[in-house]
Amino acid sequence: MKFTAQVEEPLRGARCDCSICSTKGAVTVGTPLDGLVILEGEDQLGCYQFNTKVAKHYFCSVCGTYTFHQRRSDPDTYGVNVACLGLNSYHDFPDVAVVDGRHHVRDTGKGRLAGRLKFEPSGD
């Protein structure tokens, strides 16, 4: 599958600590819904939903790669897996915000930063 996404510069990557996002472990960047265009393979796109069924987590049904998701916190945007944009989540995003998805803003009324993940390359 192939898609394009319009993302704002400078890129601000983030992760989420909710049950599904912490399992995926992907760094995402945001784009409005109309900023993502599927170029080919839309028929290979799978969708996973759970709990409130507001968020839609899309993945390639051929290789299993998580591609993007329509956000529960802002259903007018997608979070796009930076690896699908040819970026490296470690080297291109060595210091990443982790949002508190375990205590979701839609449940608590308060958005919160859970912490930060940092990648420090070894000297080897």
pTM attached to this predicted model:
0.91
pLDDT tens-digit series, residues 38-90: 999 999 999 999 989 999 999 999 999 999 999 999 999 999 999 999 999 99
For 112-122, write each residue's pLDDT tens digit: 899 999 999 99
The DSSP element (H or E) to which 106 belongs, if any, is helix 105-108
pLDDT at 105 over 90: no
DSSP 25-67: ---EEEEEGGGEEEEE-GGGEEEE--TTS-SEEEEETTT--EE
What local confidence, expressed as pLDDT, does residue 12 receive?
92
Domains of the chain and CATH, by start = 11-118 (2.170.150.70)
